[in-house]
């Protein structure tokens, strides 16, 4: 670590931005420096602090004699970064305290150096008592916002602790082998031979490999030439469940950044006609980049709002529709810990209304005897089975289609729920709906 105080100042700015409502995905790049040896350390520090933010915040409230003012948001973030480091124990305590204090000046806050020093040293003196008081409150111990904690207990009375614990773990790195250019077993052997790296297949996701340890994509054999992609095994279920065939006309709604879109193309032998629809032009560029790297020709990016087909649909119905619906992302918190700070209780009802509206808008675009696969990366029933059940009640020509045996997870209303951590997967909900022939 070449510039320890500067590293902590950079981390504090990112954490403050996330606390103010920016995603990690947008806040972190602003502090990443070209060719800096500290970038990996920055990411670890930021992700660790955000992942444990709720517990750290509860500790900080006990340590402060009076609350910090709103204008002191970056100092609050710096103190949280310092507390995270002290709890992590990977750097000597005296160095953490000294460099966190030094970071005050880099943030233009020299006047609070004494406060930062006092708070961090008090934590070291009183750590056992402070931690015990915080952990006595269950949602703080599990590092969850109270509203989400209560929602999980209500939705999953038998599994809520499993969901909470899995959401606090470091996620595994899953690969998706491009079936147009090889198979998972052969690629796994290649990883062992070239990198001495073990990779475990998944029984329900034939193209998936779970790496024994994460590594940069540039090291993966053939990554730049499209032989493999990074994608959670849970997300890889979509292509198989939709049952896409060569020659079919397919809509992937809310497609960006394009991982599921590409998998659809790969599984169809790149012989389907796939419209990749998204409301964001910037995110559609990622779909194009992914298609180009994988050498796929069957994907056509289209800019448009899934709620307003009249603006982009050519009137030709689709054989298959994948609706990867916008959602709370409560099933992928282990990959996106900022979700716990960005989401609010009122968001869930609003998400459910949006999901239902998109379903209703897209259903007329499906051919008779066609299939629509509704997908979220949520574990909340209000976004999943409740939405699909309401849609089925108001749509006479729609009926649930049975999913194949052997999937991890359990039935949830008209669909299927995989909870975070089950067989190494993230949390996903899938519901496959068929359209009657007489529609």
Q: What is the mean pLDDT of each successive set of 10 residues along the chain, which is 439 residues long?
A: 84 96 92 76 94 97 87 93 94 94 91 92 96 96 96 97 95 97 95 96 96 94 96 96 95 96 97 97 95 96 97 96 97 97 96 98 97 98 98 97 92 96 97 88
pLDDT, position 36: 67
pLDDT, position 20: 94
Q: Is 377 a catalytic residue?
A: yes
Q: What is the DSSP string of 38-72?
A: THHHHHHHHHHHHHTHHHHHHHHHHH-SSPPPGGG
pLDDT, position 424: 95
Under a CB-based contact definition with an 8 Å cutoff, are residues 13 and 104 in contact?
no
pLDDT, position 306: 97
pLDDT, position 89: 85
pLDDT, position 69: 80
Say which of 104, 254, 327, 377 is annotated catalytic. Answer: 377
pLDDT, position 35: 58
């Amino acid at each position: 670590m070449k510039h320890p105080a500067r590293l902590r100042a950079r981390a504090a700015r990112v954490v403050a931005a996330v606390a103010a409502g920016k995603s990690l995905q947008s806040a972190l790049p602003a502090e990443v420096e070209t060719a800096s040896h500290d970038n990996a350390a920055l990411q670890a520090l930021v992700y660790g602090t955000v992942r444990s933010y709720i517990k750290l915040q509860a500790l900080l409230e006990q340590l402060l004699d009076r609350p910090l003012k709103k204008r002191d948001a970056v100092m609050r973030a710096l103190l949280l970064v310092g507390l995270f480091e002290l709890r992590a124990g990977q750097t000597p305590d005296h160095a953490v305290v000294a460099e966190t204090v030094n970071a005050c000046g880099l943030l233009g806050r020299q006047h609070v150096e004494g406060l930062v020093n006092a708070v961090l040293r008090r934590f070291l003196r009183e750590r056992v008592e402070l931690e015990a008081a915080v952990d006595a409150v269950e949602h703080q111990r599990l590092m969850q916002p109270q509203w989400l904690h209560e929602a999980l207990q209500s939705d999953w009375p038998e599994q809520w602790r499993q969901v909470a614990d899995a959401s606090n773990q470091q996620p595994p790195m899953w690969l998706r082998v491009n079936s147009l250019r090889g198979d998972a077993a052969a690629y796994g052997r290649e990883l062992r031979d070239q990198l001495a790296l073990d990779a475990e297949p998944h029984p329900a996701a034939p193209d998936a490999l779970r790496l024994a340890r994460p590594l940069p994509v540039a090291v993966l054999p053939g990554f730049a030439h499209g032989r493999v992609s990074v994608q959670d095994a849970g997300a890889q279920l979509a292509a198989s469940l939709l049952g896409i065939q060569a020659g079919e006309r397919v809509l992937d709604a809310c497609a960006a950044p394009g991982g599921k879109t590409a998998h659809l193309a790969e599984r169809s032998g790149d012989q389907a006609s796939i419209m990749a629809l998204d409301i964001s032009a910037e995110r559609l560029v990622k779909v194009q980049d992914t298609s180009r790297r994988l050498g796929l020709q069957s994907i056509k990016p289209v800019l448009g709002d899934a709620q307003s087909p009249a603006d982009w649909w050519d009137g030709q119905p689709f054989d298959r529709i994948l609706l990867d619906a916008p959602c709370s992302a409560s099933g992928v918190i282990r990959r996106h810990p900022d979700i716990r700070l960005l989401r609010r209780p009122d968001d869930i009802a609003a998400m459910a209304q949006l999901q239902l509206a998109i379903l209703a808008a897209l259903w007329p675009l499906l051919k008779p005897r066609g299939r629509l696969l509704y997908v979220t990366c949520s574990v909340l029933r209000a976004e999943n089975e409740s939405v699909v059940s309401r849609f089925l009640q108001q749509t006479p020509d729609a009926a649930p289609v049975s999913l194949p045996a052997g999937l991890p997870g359990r039935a949830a209303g008209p669909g299927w729920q995989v909870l975070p951590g089950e067989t190494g997967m993230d949390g996903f909900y899938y519901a496959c709906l068929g359209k009657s022939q007489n529609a």
